[in-house]
Amino acid sequence: MNTTLRIFLLLLLPLITACQPRPTGTAITNVTLIDAVSGVRRNQNVVFDGDQITAVTSSDTAPATQRTIDGTGKFLIPGLWDFHVHLTFDDNFTDSMPALFLSYGITSVRDTGGLMHKMLPVVEKMRSKDAVAPRVFFSGPLLDGDFVVYDGESRPEIGVRNSTPDEARAAIAELAAQGVDFIKIYEMVSPAVFDAMIETANELGLPIDSHVPLSMRARVAGPSVDSIEHLRNIEMDCASNAAELHETRLELLENPNGMPGAELRSSLHSLQRLPAIGTYDEEQCDQTLAALGSTMQVPTLRLGAFSLARPFRRDDWEAALSRIPPKVREEWQASANSMEQVQEYIEFGEWAIFLTGRMNSRGIPIGAGTDTPILLAIPGYSLHSELEFLVRAGLSPLEALGSATVRPAEYFALQDEIGTIDPGKKADLVLLDANPLQDIANTKKISGVVTKGVYYDREALLARLETR
233-237: long-range contacts, CB 8 A cutoff, minimum separation 24: 233/187, 234/288, 234/292, 234/355, 235/273, 235/276, 235/277, 235/280, 235/348, 235/351, 235/355, 236/272, 236/273, 236/276, 237/212, 237/284, 237/285, 237/288
Stretch that binds Zn ion, among 89-97, 108-116, 130-138, 289-297 (CB under 5 A): 108-116
Please, what is the minimum distance in Å from the beta carbon of residue 147 to Zn ion? 18
Please, what is the minimum distance in Å from the beta carbon of residue 89 to Zn ion? 8
Of 186 and 194, which CB lies nearer to Zn ion in the complex structure? Answer: 186
Of 87 and 353, which CB lies nearer to Zn ion in the complex structure? Answer: 87
Taking CB atoms, the residue at the shortest distance from Zn ion is 371
Please, what is the minimum distance in Å from the beta carbon of residue 373 to Zn ion? 10
Distance CA 236, CA 220 (A): 13
Q: How many Å is the Cα radius of gyration of the chain?
A: 24
3-state DSSP helix/strand/coil % of the chain, to nearest 5: 45, 20, 40
Task: Give the Å distances, CA to CA, from 278 to 236, 239, 348.
Answer: 10, 8, 11
Q: Considering the rule CB under 5 A, would residue 82 count as an interface residue with Zn ion?
A: no
Distance CA 298, CA 243 (A): 25
Please, what is the minimum distance in Å from the beta carbon of residue 351 to Zn ion? 19
Stretch that binds Zn ion, among 32-40, 234-242, 314-322, 369-377 (CB under 5 A): 369-377
Stretch that binds Zn ion, among 159-167, 371-379, 421-429, 430-438 (CB under 5 A): 371-379
Please, what is the minimum distance in Å from the beta carbon of residue 367 to Zn ion? 13
Of 187 and 371, which CB lies nearer to Zn ion in the complex structure? Answer: 371
Stretch that binds Zn ion, among 73-81, 104-112, 191-199, 346-354 (CB under 5 A): 104-112
Specify whether the CB–CB gap between 140 and 167 falls below 8 A: no
Of 156 and 448, which CB lies nearer to Zn ion in the complex structure? Answer: 156
Stretch that binds Zn ion, among 217-225, 366-374, 421-429, 451-459 (CB under 5 A): 366-374
Please, what is the minimum distance in Å from the beta carbon of residue 186 to Zn ion? 10
Stretch that binds Zn ion, among 54-62, 109-117, 136-144, 190-198 (CB under 5 A): 109-117
Single out the residue of 449, 460, 434, 333 nearest to residue 380, CA to CA.
449
Distance CA 66, CA 302 (A): 41
Give residue 337's Cα distance to chain centre: 28
Of 44 and 112, which CB lies nearer to Zn ion in the complex structure? Answer: 112
Per-residue string for binding with Zn ion, 180-219, x by CB under 5 A?
----------------------------------------
Specify whether the CB–CB gap between 332 and 379 falls below 8 A: no
- Provide the greatest CA pair distance for the chain: 95
**Intra-chain end-to-end CA distance of the chain, in Å:** 62
Of 155 and 445, which CB lies nearer to Zn ion in the complex structure? Answer: 155
Give residue 125's Cα distance to chain centre: 20
Partners of 229 in the beta sheet? 298
Kindly report the CA angle at 280 between 275 and 285, in degrees rounded to 5?
Answer: 130
Of 112 and 284, which CB lies nearer to Zn ion in the complex structure? Answer: 112
Stretch that binds Zn ion, among 87-95, 111-119, 250-258, 360-368 (CB under 5 A): 111-119
Of 74 and 273, which CB lies nearer to Zn ion in the complex structure? Answer: 273
Of 92 and 248, which CB lies nearer to Zn ion in the complex structure? Answer: 92
Q: Considering the rule CB under 5 A, would residue 226 count as an interface residue with Zn ion?
A: no
Q: Considering the rule CB under 5 A, would residue 371 count as an interface residue with Zn ion?
A: yes
Site for Zn ion, rule CB under 5 A: 112, 371
